[in-house]
Amino acid sequence: MGLEYAELLAAQKVNLVLAARRREPMEKLAAELRQKYGVEVVVEPIDLAVPGAAAHLKGSLDDQSLEIDILVNNAGYGLHGDFLDTPLERTSDMIQLNITAVTELSFIFGQDMAARGAGQILLIASILSFQPVPGFSAYAATKSYVLSFGEALHDELRPRGVTVTCLCPGHTETGFDAAASAPVSPVLRFLTMKPRPTAATGLRALAKGKASVLPGFMNNIIVFSNRLTPRSMQRAVMKSVTGG
């Protein structure tokens, strides 16, 4: 998904800072974007799951006199399996990245945006934000945090000139399943969206100043149906669909 955000923003002539763990893939992407769109691209290799990484990134950008106008808070990953069968260290690392790093990045860069009276923050939650999901218990809970946090920030920061939008993708054709060791059921295959339209939906919603957005007609139907069904049924359906 990060590749899609970078491509879409570069196509709008937005200069970029790419922040991720591995330098080589980012340098390759940066060269392609510079050549194709004529934008400036700064590469910042950093593991955002490490405590204090957000402050380190901000310090590095300050040293280069770089201000961030649009923060795409895309870092995160999932874990599939029973909670008690998953090493606690892996769950804690996921929580550090999905919750703590997202919170710290939003705070550190949001402060500058609010002081300038302008800025945009895109947070990435999930369709799993809307109900408990056996098999993805901790991951879904982290994304519920992101959705609640993002929608609250939307109202807090709007009077200060900062737009916060929360994108809630459904199943998307990325490396998520392999990284999470998650099976893909026939239902999920049917519901799978391509990453480009998913990312584009988030950026359009951000530009329009929406608090949150669900990409895809079927994903909207699924979330709407939660209003009509008991939570026990929601858990049973999600367990069946996700292989929990």
Alpha carbon distance 155, 20 (integer Å) = 29
What pLDDT does 242 receive?
Answer: 65
For the CA atoms of 73, 3, 96, 181, the dihedral, rounded to the nearest 10 degrees, stands at 140
The label of the residue with tokens 């400036």 reads 40
Which helix (H) or strand (E) segment holds residue 30: the answer is: helix 23-37
With CA atoms as reference, report the closest residue to 8 among 76, 70, 66. 70
Looking at 90-149, which runs of residues are DSSP E strands? 119-124
Query: What integer pLDDT is reported at residue 91 of this predicted model?
Result: 95
Which is it for strands 119-124 and 41-45: parallel, antiparallel or unpaired?
A: unpaired
Res 227: pLDDT: 77
pTM across the whole model: 0.88
Handedness of CA 174, 40, 117, 51 (dihedral sign): positive
pLDDT for the residue numbered 170 = 84
Q: Active-site residue numbers? A: 139
What's the pLDDT score for residue 217?
83
> What was the pLDDT predicted at 172?
73
* pLDDT under 70: residue ranges of the chain: 174-191, 193, 228, 237-244
Q: Determine the pLDDT at residue 184.
A: 61
Q: What is the pLDDT of residue 223?
A: 79
Angle at 49 between CA 73 and CA 5, to 5 degrees: 25
125 vs 98, 165, 211, CA distance in Å? 9, 10, 12
Burial of 124 from C-beta contacts in 10 A (0-12 / 13-18 / 19+): buried
What structural domains does the chain harbor? 68-242 (3.40.50.720)
